[in-house]
A and B are shown apart, each in its own frame.
Chain A
Amino acid sequence: QLQLQESGPGLVKPSETLSLTCAVSGGSISSGGYYWGWIRQPPGKGLEWIGSIYYTGRAFYNPSLKSRLTISVDTSKNQFSLTLNSVTAADTAVYYCARPLGGGGKYHYWGQGILVTVSS
C-alpha cells in the first residue's frame, strides 16, 4: 500500500523559507510513470496546485508561485521536497503531497497533510 508522509516545521516566520519533505513508502519514486505533486489549502479555503516533479527532476510549477518555488526529488531517500522562499501570511495552509493514478493530475494517493503557519 503506497503511503506518503509530509514533514517539516509547522511555524515559519514571514520573509523566511518554508521547506517540506514528502517521504514515500510502499513504492519507489524512481520506478517512473508519475508526476509527484504538492497541493495546498489555506484554512477554510479551496485547493491550490503548487507543482509536480518526475523522478528525473523535471518539474512544473504554478506560475503564481514559480519565482519563489523549488521542487526537488531525492530518489536515494525515496522522497521529494518543496522549498518556498520569502513567505507571507498568505502562504499559511495545509500542504499535501500526492501521487496520481498515472502520469499527472488525477491524484489518487495523498499524504495526511501538514499545517504550516506563517507568523512572527
Chain B
Amino acid sequence: ELKVEQNPLFLSMQEGKNYTIYCNYSTTSDRLYWYRQDPGKSLESLFVLLSNGAVKQEGRLMASLDTKARLSTLHITAAVHDLSATYFCAVSKWVYGNKLVFGAGTILRVKS
C-alpha cells in the first residue's frame, strides 16, 4: 500500500528565513507531486518529479527527489509572506492507476 508522510504539519517562520518540508513515501512510485493550496482555493501544481536526483526550482521554492531514500524535499529560500499556504506532496504509481496518494499537508505561515 502506498502511504505518504509529510513533516512538519505546521510551520511558522519569519520572512527571510530558509526551511525545508519533508515528504516520505512507503513504496516505489512513478511520480512525486508538490501542490500548493491557498485557503478556500483548489490545488495549484508546483512540481512533478520523476527520477532520482531530480531537482526543480521555481522562484523561492526548490523540490528534490531521492528515490532510493523514498524522500522528497521542498526547500523554501528567504521566505516571503506570499508563500503562506498549505503545501501537499503526493505520489502516484502506474500500477495503482495513477491515482494520487496525498500527504497530510504542511501549513506554512510566514510572518512579516
Partners in one complex: no
